[in-house]
Amino acid sequence: MKQLAAFKEWLKDIIKRRGLYRDQLNKLSMYNLNGKDLEVEYIKESDILRKSDIEIDNYKRSIFERKTSTSGTTGEPLVFYQTVEALQKEQAFIDWLWNLVDHDPSDRVVVMRGGKGLDLTSRFYNRLLLSSFEWDEKSLRKKHQEFLSFNPRFIDCYPSILERFLKGCIALGITKFPAVRGILAGSEACLDHQANLFKEILGAETLNWYGQSEQVALGLKIDKDTFHFFPQYSTLKFLPNDNKFEITGKSHISKFFSRFYYGTGDYCKSIRSGFNEKLNVPVYVVEGLTGRNPETIKLENSEEVPLNHIIFGLHSRLWSSVDRYCFVQIKPGIMDFYYSKLSTDKLVKELIDKLIERFPQGVELNAIEKPELSQINTTKWRYYFPNKNKFERILSENN
């Protein structure tokens, strides 16, 4: 049983690197725009679809498409259909980016992401999974021991989880760490202080990329305020909104999201055409990207701990039971989970039970149904508020 979680991770990687994976990787190596300059295109609100516009009941799916769901940084879960082929194409794009730090699929990788595994550590072949949920001294020392003996080449992580692991070890007087070749950081933004910490302790640069389950936009962080977005992954158009632009995309790899422009709810300050010299491809140069920030919550003793892996690591169709949700910190150790219901009480209760199970000791989670959340008219709803006053103010402004 101890190897089961790592075995599943390894098997998932094997499946993603079969089928259309190799064909997509070959296409990326030969991609060009036939000498044409990449143009920044804009779009109107009436020409995009949002979560509330998407109907899956009348969608003519193939037998190879399965239902999946986001938990999402918008606080609005979305149910849609996805294929294994889309995941294989996406993995080709991810490996294309990982090649920038000389990653090879056979390399030893430590995984520190959102999954709540069966054990504190789980190891199989070239994968070592370290739980993101146990942080007492005994657990930290055990994780460090496994980390050291595994001698990884790369770390695939939420930046907030790797930061907590390293700082926890240092607080215990643990200073010995293997040098790794690279930090592969997705699912949330990697802040400068985190990247500097990883470089100082592990001797490695951080590769941070932006994407989402809907597979409508893919970006690579270049520096503090700049991302390169890839037209090879999707056709992008930008929706002007006051002094910023919303990123919308039509996927090239997802059949479901290839039919329309989908509003991501994420914004940037400016866009221009450019070129990525290392990948030798034209790109959209996006500055001032917002979204996917590494949020923290306070335990009863006022210790701050990461939040994102608790929510986004719960890959479950139970998210489809709520229309919109958010977490609100009432005081240290007390969190309210507000939601508007879409499904039966039974499914909502299952979702709440799963969330309670994932929250750390020192936090009491109270679930409160709030139907008026569904009436909020905004393209970008926050999934977390650090205090109730801010939550109530924004709630009143948007109702």
Backbone conformation region of residue 302, classed left if phi is above 0, alpha if psi is from -120 to 50, else beta: left
Chain-centre distance for alpha carbon 157: 10
Percentage above 70 pLDDT, the chain: 93
Q: What is the pTM of this model?
A: 0.88
Give Cβ neighbours of residue 315 (< 8 Å, ≥ 6 apart).
Answer: 68, 69, 71, 114
Round the average pLDDT of the chain to a whole number and report it.
Answer: 89
SS3 content of the chain, % helix, strand, coil (to 5): 30, 30, 40
Q: Is the pLDDT of residue 383 over 90?
A: no
Q: Is the pLDDT of residue 381 over 90?
A: no
- List domains and CATH numbers for the chain: 296-397 (3.30.300)
pLDDT tens digits along 282-321: 999 999 998 767 889 999 999 999 998 888 888 777 888 8
Interior CA angle at 183 toward 205 and 5, to 5°?
Answer: 175
Q: How far apart are CA 280 and CA 185, in angstroms?
A: 22
Record the tokens describing residue 159, joined without a space.
Answer: 């930046």
Contact 143, 131 (CB under 8 A): yes
pLDDT tens digits along 110-124: 999 866 656 888 888
pLDDT tens digits along 191-239: 899 999 999 999 999 999 998 889 999 999 999 889 999 999 999 999 9
pLDDT tens digits along 175-184: 999 999 999 9
pLDDT on residue 290: 82
Contact 339, 374 (CB under 8 A): no
**52 — phi, psi (to 5°)?**
-70, -15
pLDDT on residue 87: 94
pLDDT on residue 271: 96
State whether the Cα torsion 76-342-326-155 is positive or negative.
Answer: negative
Average pLDDT over residues 394-398: 75
pLDDT on residue 89: 95
